[in-house]
Structure 1
Amino acid sequence: MIILNLNYKRLLVSLLTVALVSCSNPWDDRESNGDSNLDVTLNEAITNTAEVSQFGKLLIQTGYDKVLAASKTYTVFAPTNEALAKVDAAILNDAESLKKFVANHIALTSFSSVRKNTEDKILMLDDKYLIFKGSTAIGDAAIVTADHYAANGVFHIINKALTPKLNIWEYINANKGTSAMSAYLVYLKEFSIYKEDADAKAKAATGFLADSLSNSYLRNVYNLNNEKNSYTLFLMEDAGYNAEVTKMKPYLTKTSNDPKKDSTAIYSSYFTTRDLAFPKAYKKSELPKTLTSRFGVQFDVDQTQIVGEPIQLSNGIIYIMKKVDVKLSDRLVPTVIQGEAYTGYGNGSRSSFSSRELIDPTTGLPYNDIMAPAPGAAQFYMTYAAKDMFSTTYKVYWRAINDQLTVPISQRLQVGGKLQITGIVISVLNPLKDFGYKDVLVKDYNPFLLGSFDITQSGNIDLITLWAGTVAKNPLTIDYLKFVPDVKK
């Protein structure tokens, strides 16, 4: 029995050794494979290979022959002579375009066809990324023969030239003259949606991260100029785009300081377009029935509205849409402010309150809230702020948990206005709405409707004040505030 176990172990070791050898990377074994190309550089190996000799000439013409003669290691995807014959003459006859074209076939370091991953996203020398599928494909080109080794790298022969594609942002810029939505997105380089955008653009003017900071859309939604990530954008035709913008105008009323600018139209366009970009490249067969934007807006993806084929770009996909009809009830997302997201407090110290992590006994779910059980003075208060409020009527709720007392807690919410200090008295001057003191019942875990108020000018509410009672050591508690916008009749 001992002899059988020993023989079994020897057999297992032998099998593992064979498996490891058979799965090794050909690039690591190149010295012993007898390939004469191992004595020459990539540039020489490509030039001497008849099937791709025309690409070898382009390497010399663009100066990349010297790059591929250097000591660094490279991977080249060399198109056949037949594939090069189909390349647009405008690319081949323009020095700058030709250089970018050739660079899109070269990657730093060695990528053999033996890969751990089914596919890898690799960076080309023109700063574009391509998907490499082992011995199968690179980008939208098929690999004819893989793993031709040279002294400083490897080249694969492909059946189609890898003409550099525009990225999504480059495509938008190229179509700003024929697309109203594209023109608007480009315009946001000049117009700052938020004050923070103007500060970022000042930095961008000095060259500091200019690609992501120079445009309000790139900064606040997604940087569609980023080659490393992948995106999907729904780009509406003019009629559908204008209809969606018009739907939003009653909810984004703004008075402009510049008579030449229609702020209502500008912000209505922003709140329409911000929900049409997504951080993944969805193939048509993979498009979900519904999508939810990063701003919480959900809409149905109606594939019958797609015009033509998806536009495949270097960092994602654009779908040209006749329209993307989003219901106003979905577009007008409620604003929820968590109790922990306070902007300030007063009539008490930081030790007066704490953030709690609790379990809701009615649902079994965890939640966080703020509790000030016994502030050191009367009318302890906490302040909050709300961003991107629509010009409409809002219903206001709070969820406040009174689980430490046996009697109701009295507290008050004021929306808008400015804090005013008169002697030792702190109050809010000219609030948009004062809901007065309301009772927080004992162990009531339901949201409580405080009432409603109107906003006539869309924008931010910089001051929302939650007050404890008027008697010293009156407690204060808050899980969240919720502002629910009404759809106008």
Structure 2
Amino acid sequence: MISIKTFIKPLIAGLLLAGVISCSDPWEEHAETSDTNLSVNLGEALTASAQTSEFGKLLTETGYDKILASSKTFTVWAPTNEALAQVEASALASAAAKKLFVENHIALTAFSSVAQQDTVTVKMYSNKYLEFKFGKVMVDANVIEADKYTSNGLYHIIDKALTPKKNIWEFVQSKASTNAMSAYLIDLNEINIYSRDSVQKSLALPGIYADSLTNSYFTNVYNLNNEENKYTFFLLEDGSFVTETERLRPYMNRISEDSTTTYTNYFTVRDLAFHKAIARENLPDTLVSKFGVKVPLNDATIAEEIQLSNGVVYVMGKLEVPLATRLLTTIIEGEEPFQFSQGDKRGNTFYREKEDPSGNIFNDIMIQNHRVNRFTIYYGASNLYTTTYKVYWRAINDIQTNTFQQRVNIGGFISAVDGSLNEPFAELPYTNVAPNVYEEVYVGEFELTLKGSGQTLVSLMAANSTSDGANTLSLDYLKLVPVIK
């Protein structure tokens, strides 16, 4: 990337440009010759060129001839008249389309064909990002004449127009009337999956589409409207979308049918976007989603492949994610509580970094000698499924010589008066925490039949005792393992 000033005289221009890029032959050649283009701006040069005069007409029609006459520095990849004649009429069907088309050929600052980098990603005036392989190719157009200098930049003549492509979100929007999954994704403009979504949407910047998190999918998964990153996205045809959501639906029971449908759909589609563009020939047999779900792939079920400006969409005739991998185990780290029950016991609370007998480092929490019966630590678990869960813990008792007991409770409400737990829907039995046991221990099971208020609280409760050593709490982690029905 080269930054060029505005030049008064051709000779001065050439010398300055040569100074910006050392050992750059094209710049040095222009320092030694009298190139008449250096006395005209980019708009004038492109309009006057016999090869690019039709593109010059588009510049004038869209007002970009004036922009390219300014004192800023630009690079233009200008299609030949023959290349422009091959552009589909839809790409130039309106004033807005023509403007976007022209913008997709112009970049601010200068990009010469001579540089140490082989490829650079260029932000165009269209806000799209295109790859320029120096001296050879801009996207899939060949550079037939490079480094044509003018008073305020340079242009390269290419053999194919750079017609702007939709990004993934624009493609999804275009399919909303014919594809059920696309329609649902658009609905997430108005639906908040989590309470934080409304906060993010309120902070969205209107008019700056790449960074406006106006959709719950953008907020919680990936912003498929962002041109700066590349994604791979799997869009299910209606039959596959129905099959996947119906298999998941029994595990997403909520207070109403509409709410159940919303969350079933979300937990189906959230695992179908990946933060890189993967060519079809490089697709593995399994991808792991942002949330840890293993998504198996079969090339034979890809109905369509669409290359877009910020990645690739694969339309899937079938994509089946087994429930065994879809229903993720919930891990709750002991050292990450959000609240405690009554009394300030910070002096009795220890966040520890320890090493187990195998040499593995772990972090946990231990609360000792607090002298409060049934003292409780609270955790959240918002993404549980409506099914039976088996519960395991690793709780390390490495300081006391005696065994103590603690229990896990599921659901309920925290009293605003004293911070105690009220109305849990599952109370697992008190379980011994014997000295120096580092293995995972099974502590019971519970069934979640309905998701809603009071269902996402998980708590660890001490013994009903005020005696030191008897009411200790310790937790490395809790593991909630869902059972497939």
Q: Give the TM-score normalised by the residue count of structure 1.
A: 0.89
Specify the alignment match of 2:385 in structure 1: 390
2:303 equivalent among 298, 304, 307:
307
Specify the alignment match of 2:451 in structure 1: 458
Does the 8 Å CA contact 1:204/1:210 hold for their aligned counterparts? no
Specify the alignment match of 2:462 in structure 1: 468
Partners of 2:385 and 2:352 in 1: CA distance: 31
1:367 equivalent among 359, 362, 374:
362
Please, which moves more after superposition, 439-448 or 97-106? 439-448
* Residue 336, structure 1, aligned to residue 341, structure 2: no
Pair 222,33 (structure 1): closer, same or farther in 2 beyond 3 Å: farther
Partners of 1:103 and 1:327 in 2: CA distance: 45
Please, which moves more after superposition, 146-155 or 344-353? 344-353
Specify the alignment match of 2:376 in structure 1: 381
SS at match of 1:411: strand
Please, which moves more after superposition, 65-74 or 433-442? 433-442
Specify the alignment match of 1:86 in structure 2: 86
* Residue 197, structure 1, aligned to residue 197, structure 2: yes
Does the 8 Å CA contact 1:251/1:458 hold for their aligned counterparts? no
| 1:168, distance to aligned residue in structure 2 (A) | 0.4
Does the 8 Å CA contact 1:392/1:486 hold for their aligned counterparts? yes
Partners of 2:214 and 2:404 in 1: CA distance: 49
Does the 8 Å CA contact 1:411/1:466 hold for their aligned counterparts? yes
* Residue 446, structure 1, aligned to residue 446, structure 2: no
SS at match of 1:148: strand
Partners of 1:93 and 1:427 in 2: CA distance: 67
* Residue 479, structure 1, aligned to residue 476, structure 2: yes
Specify the alignment match of 2:400 in structure 1: 405
Partners of 1:93 and 1:263 in 2: CA distance: 42
| 1:205, distance to aligned residue in structure 2 (A) | 9.4
Specify the alignment match of 1:292 in structure 2: 288
Partners of 1:192 and 1:239 in 2: CA distance: 26
For 2:475, the aligned partner's letter is: I
Does the 8 Å CA contact 1:203/1:210 hold for their aligned counterparts? no
Write the deviation string for residues 274-304 of structure 1: whole angstroms up to 9, x where unpaired: 0000110111122122111111100211111
Q: Give the TM-score normalised by the residue count of structure 2.
A: 0.89
For 2:377, the aligned partner's letter is: M
Specify the alignment match of 2:154 in structure 1: 154
User: Structure 1 vs Structure 2: percent identity of aligned residues?
Assistant: 47
| 1:351, distance to aligned residue in structure 2 (A) | 2.4
Specify the alignment match of 2:66 in structure 1: 66
Q: Structure 2 regions of 5+ residues with no counterpart? A: 1-19
Pair 172,21 (structure 1): closer, same or farther in 2 beyond 3 Å: closer
Pair 212,221 (structure 1): closer, same or farther in 2 beyond 3 Å: farther
Write the deviation string for residues 175-219 of structure 1: whole angstroms up to 9, x where unpaired: 111111111111111222222223444455977989643211121
Specify the alignment match of 2:259 in structure 1: 263
Specify the alignment match of 1:435 in structure 2: 428
* Residue 281, structure 1, aligned to residue 277, structure 2: yes
* Residue 357, structure 1, aligned to residue 343, structure 2: no
Partners of 2:373 and 2:258 in 1: CA distance: 46
Instruction: Provide the aligned C-alpha RMSD in A.
Output: 2.3
* Residue 47, structure 1, aligned to residue 47, structure 2: yes
Pair 361,395 (structure 1): closer, same or farther in 2 beyond 3 Å: same
SS at match of 1:307: strand
For 1:412, the aligned partner's letter is: R
Pair 235,21 (structure 1): closer, same or farther in 2 beyond 3 Å: closer
Q: Structure 1 regions of 5+ residues with no counterpart? A: 1-19
SS at match of 1:387: coil
Please, which moves more after superposition, 410-419 or 372-381? 372-381
Partners of 1:56 and 1:462 in 2: CA distance: 63
For 1:278, the aligned partner's letter is: F
For 1:130, the aligned partner's letter is: L
For 2:326, the aligned partner's letter is: R
